[in-house]
Amino acid sequence: MGEFKHKIRVSWFETDAAGVVHFSNYYKFFERAEMEFWRSLEIDYKKIMKEYNIWLPRVEASCKFISPCYFDDELEIRLTIGGLARKSIRYNFQVWNLSTAKLAAEGHMTVVSVSKDTNRSVAIPSGIADSLKDFI
C-alpha cells in the first residue's frame, strides 16, 4: 500500500499569537499534499476538472492536533488512500514535523466525484480510480 510524501515549510503567516501553526492551516496542508499527489500520478487536478469534467468537493475533513509546529519548521505530509468507493475517495494524512521529529497531526478528508455539468455526484471515472491502484 503506497504512501505519498510532500514537504512543506511553515510560513510566518501560518502562525498565530500562541506562536504555533493555526489549526485551520493543517487542512490547507492536506489539500496541498492532495494536489501534489495527483500531480505525482500524472493526472493533475486541472486535468481531473477539464478532461473528466468533475470536481472533487470535500464532504468531510477531520484532524487531531498532536504536537505544535512552529515558524520555519519543515513538515512532511504523508498521504495514504483510506478508502475508495464508487463515488468517493478517502485520504488519510499524517503531518510529521521534521524539525521536532514528532507527529504533529493526523486526519482525513473525504471527497466526492461531482459532475461539473449537472452538479450531481457521479461514479469516479475509471481513469482516476485506476491510477490509485498502487495506493489501495
Among 5, 40, 41, 44, binds a second copy (CB under 8 A): 44
d(CA 136, CA 133): 6
* Nearest distance from C-beta of residue 1 to a second copy, angstroms: 24
Taking CA atoms, 19 is separated from 48, 70, 106, in Å, by 38, 7, 20
d(CA 72, CA 10): 5
Determine if 13 is a binding residue for a second copy (CB under 8 A): yes
- Range in contact with a second copy (rule: CB under 8 A) among 67-75, 76-84, 89-97, 120-128: 67-75
Determine if 67 is a binding residue for a second copy (CB under 8 A): no
Residues in touch with a second copy (CB under 8 A): 9, 11-13, 15-20, 22-25, 27-28, 31-32, 35, 44-46, 55, 57-66, 68, 70-72
